[in-house]
Structure 1
């Protein structure tokens, strides 16, 4: 419990430092948007059906702080999620920490402010990535909270890595993604090294008026590990 609370405290300190840095700068930008998707697919995992996913963030220089959520629109049993991410980017390098909260986990009462190591629904994840322009590489590792277990039943420090390749084709912006789980963990349902996410996604804007357009996107995702495949579609609402 103390360990998780220490991590939670460090995370809140990082959030405060990010906000303080933003306050000191003259150029602070606020971002507000929301996606509506037919399926919530995350890293090759099916987390629910039609969902509403709002985002609120601030950015200043290389610092960013954002809140993201997901709520099912058609099935009350779909995943409800609330994430807070603090990150810093310098050049092509990005490092960050995310606090994920899900409405299912170790706490039967689904309390947000429950950080006990053995009864929390929070998952704390650290990530590092580098954007090489022609492709970007990302690595994510859970380091505290409701992580999965390895084959020995111990904390797996569940990790996920992916490569994204953006390109333009036929009037749309495309991204090809390949993601894997490097070792066994129940968090991603992998018994060892596994390819869990192969995605091809296209996005473009539909012009509504001269000053307003709606970004839309569609993608095909395959998870060879679970032997599942998905066709997704969504659109973004933003000022």
Structure 2
């Protein structure tokens, strides 16, 4: 079953898409035309939270990404661990993006993502969002030299007819050659057919470079949500069918993540 429909309710059926939770820190080198860079890693999160909404409990979330020049493509996976894994579908996200540098520090990012739930349908089938959805995005970002590195992005899921607007700022602090801290704040709104909500997430992570090309992190996140879909995932049973499902019942959430990544 698709846990996203369960958590966000029938009015928000399958509001798809994923989160890297507190995104793994990927060490990369500058890419020039003809260069091919690979990045891979995995995260372990205490809660699967995406755009301010709980989509599952403890999850393992590996990824692989390749970039050349201004083009990037990758795959991201999520599967829950423990007893909750029996109640929710795995997720496989395939994505691609192209970065267009403008004059000055501004960059335009164009992207497309397919969100797929293997247990519920064939690859590239949509079935009203139960098996998968398609989303396109455009974003504006400033260079890392700009204070707080602000960015804004707009997303539209053509399957669910859902629009998302998201803004973010971040700051990194170094403690030495190998240790550091990353701080971030993300705010956004989601507006779909018959549903809408707003959220904000503050994040903090401690980082450590194992080698020049590999790093680990441990971090904490706190999310506020205008709707009751972020905290206290509880197990219920449908009184008619007896089907078990999970439901989120509050508007705040403290969740944690750790991960490792490398590039070559």
Paired with 2:74 and 2:211, the residues of 1 have a C-alpha distance of 29
Please show how residues 192-231 of structure 1 align to structure 2 within 5 Å.
194-195=197-198, 197-206=199-208, 213-226=215-228, 227-231=250-254
TM-score after normalising by structure 1? 0.72
Matched, 1:60 2:60: no
Aligned to 2:92: 82
Paired with 1:125 and 1:117, the residues of 2 have a C-alpha distance of 15
Given that 1:39 and 1:232 are in contact with CA atoms closer than 8 Å, whether structure 2 keeps it comes out as yes
- The structural deviation recorded for 1:143 is 1.2
Aligned to 1:178: 187
- CA displacement 1:85-104 (0-9 Å, x = unmatched): 0110122110011000125x
Paired with 2:71 and 2:88, the residues of 1 have a C-alpha distance of 32
Paired with 1:119 and 1:44, the residues of 2 have a C-alpha distance of 20
Question: Where does structure 1 lack aligned partners over 5 or more consecutive residues?
Answer: 1-24, 104-108, 148-156
Question: Where does structure 2 lack aligned partners over 5 or more consecutive residues?
Answer: 1-32, 102-106, 144-148, 229-249
Aligned to 1:98: 113
Q: How many residues align?
A: 193
SS at match of 1:88: strand
Which one has more relative contact order, counting CA pairs under 8 Å at least 6 apart? 2
Given that 2:47 and 2:56 are in contact with CA atoms closer than 8 Å, whether structure 1 keeps it comes out as yes
Matched, 1:237 2:239: no
Q: Say what the alpha-carbon RMSD is for the aligned residues.
A: 2.6
TM-score after normalising by structure 2? 0.66
Aligned to 2:134: 124
Given that 2:154 and 2:166 are in contact with CA atoms closer than 8 Å, whether structure 1 keeps it comes out as yes
